[in-house]
Structure 1
Amino acid sequence: MFETQKEEERVLLLGVTLPEQENSDMSMAELESLAKTAGAKVIDGFVQNRERYDSKTFIGSGKLQEVAQIVDSEEIDTVIVNNRLTPRQNTNLEQALGVKVIDRMQLILDIFAMRARSHEGKLQVHLAQLKYMLPRLVGQGVMLSRQAGGIGSRGPGESQLELNRRSIRQQITDIERQLKQVAKNRATSREKRLDDSTFKIGLIGYTNAGKSTIMNALTDNKQYEADELFATLDATTKQIYLAEHFQATLTDTVGFIQDLPTELVAAFKSTLEESRYVDLLLHVIDASDPNHAEQEKVVLNLLDELDMSNIPRLAIYNKMDKVESLTATTFPNIRLSAKGKNSKQALRRLIVDQIREQFEPFTIKVNSSELYKLYQLQKVALLEPFDGTQDIEEVSGYISPKNKWRLDTFYD
């Protein structure tokens, strides 16, 4: 019995650059990576410079004819447009080219559908797909008549393409109700964590910067990591020990990306908000990417939108083994290769140094009979080495202002 291998979809990438737009090369390269992540084989790509998008077909008639010839000669299955198409443009392009046409937003939604693992994540993806689909139900031509599926039609939204608008709206209402309950439960859990004295760290960064690799290095755990976009989608929180008994939690979240669909920004707001309540952000940057400076700007702009720009931040320039030189733009920072031999120790030291700067110094005197109290204190404070053999020990360290009350027990 022979096993048949599913053929990759042959895709052609298409973009339009307007006069005021910058970094079109970066955007098209990212689109290619997104397409490969979705399982496509990229055959070719075209970018047209225009004053404005064509309201009917997105690109000019001459370029459309050229693309149609390539689609036919190269046996293209799907055309992926590096912009957001209107329903009218989408329909007209499909009729003119005779193949499936999806835009950047639908491609990202498709990848998120592949990556969602948790119940909440699947609900969020489904909601985003339905909101994207709603204005596109009428007159979709090739898109609505196609039964084969493929890139752009996976996940919870796949079986909903033939449903009418009323049904879609009812589903949206139902999912939003479920997500409100999930958000309520999340808020309750968050309040408990905020009352907790544990130091909280969040991992953020552009997609594929190496956040999961950093997570694994600090937790000795096996978070899924791969050289692909959106390898991690659902938020994951682990407990780590940074120095002696000092406890912290580390949360890994979905990667940021240029032009993130508004449907996903809204749908994943509760997931991204997990990082709004941390004490320190680790901003992971792929130093080997020639566009890392632009990627940093994307992340910083999204942090502003999420009201997270005031949280202390440590930049981690990752993948330095692939870089000859680097001009850093974010400080403070550490430069390393997360998979390097001594990177774990160096990263821990830098994080501890950063925490120490956020904490307040203290010195206490502890009777030998009360040394046991230091064990609990070490969980929330960074203590300097002490003898432990003296009748009265003088112990110095650093502690968070919110936990400073714990020192009162030594003054009783």
Structure 2
Amino acid sequence: MGHELQHNPHNNFQLQSSRNRSIFLEGENDCCLAIEGDQGHQIVANGTVFIESAEKVTVHCHSLSAGFRRVSIIEAIMPCAPLPCPTEEFTVVVQAIHSFVKWPSHLIFPRNMDDDETAKADLQPKNQFTTTSPRSCSSQGSCSRKYIITDKDRAKLTTDLLRVLKNEAMVMKKNDEKIIVPIPTSVCYFSIDVELNYEDMFDWCFQREIGANHISIFMKYLSEKCHKESVSGMYGFCDVNYLSPLSLLEKGERIDYLARVFGWNEGLNINQTFFAPFHENRHWMLAVISPWNGIVWWLNPSGSENEISQFAEEIINEGIIKFSLEHRKDIKKLKRKPLIKWRKPLCPRQPVDSLDCGFYVCRYMLEAIANRHQVIPDQYFKDVPKTYEQQMIDEVRDMWTTFVLKHKEVEDEEDGLEVS
């Protein structure tokens, strides 16, 4: 039985509640996250709290009001505990692991608490919680996700291919199968196997919020498309995880990676443009980078009036500078400290409160390659609507679906081979 934290002035945990603003430094801080119960505060998760100086902070396109902080849940201590600020997608702690959520400031506490007994409160919680929401805990004793398909989801099955993908996901769920899509070195500088389970497939075919695996596979599709159309020297791709704030990488590792990618093919692909999808606050954005010319186009599906991510800007700028230093002897136009310009084109904008940002980023990359553009115009591409029509999103979804199902067919054929 764990510790239940009572409201009394002698409890160090409660005292820190009133002064946690002064304890946390600007930037990322390890923390434990609590909720309020009838008997007091209960720690339900460990995570990271982001103390930001920007006047306007958002969590997935929604402004963060006073009295709340942006947090990332790292470990679910009470997986079925309700979130203090539930969303349409997340209602309990386990659903929000490795995602950004809003949390009341007075319920965020430092991990290095002075009182040993209080610090133990996050080990064995006393109460259990149950819920009956999508992807929530199925019972009091189990917190495995349960994917509930709604009428809203079924309405998103707008093409024959998406219906095939849904049926394939149902079979994968029944047989506990997964699809492995290998990403070769030629795509993002190093090889990696991307694993898709049935939930990933459902998220795509029901047009829900998509993740790094979906984006990585679409970049592989685009990379192969560039190769077939003999334009692979014009475009390159940056791995999603190296730019993610949630990746456990040192700043130097991120910068070194970008410098190596920009110098691909020993620096012979002069004027090559690179696509770098970026995920922050549960929102996808795209950096289109021209390291040879020191220009970055920042495409944000929530609107060009939004600020550029300081995290992304700093890493990309330093990656370009390191790339320039390594190649300045070979390319006279590059300066030792190049001036890097950031631009925000008026790209198509996702509907308010939608989760389509990932699909928009995929479409941005597709359109740049299709137009053979290495520069993103300030007014974006001609004849492209301000908001993508459903048919345009479906085109992207069908491309990804066809690509993934081909990998599934190859896997099935290999499983059927007899090895003597």
TM-score above 0.5: no
TM norm structure 2: 0.29
TM norm structure 1: 0.29
Bigger helix fraction: 1
Q: Which has the larger radius of gyration?
A: 1
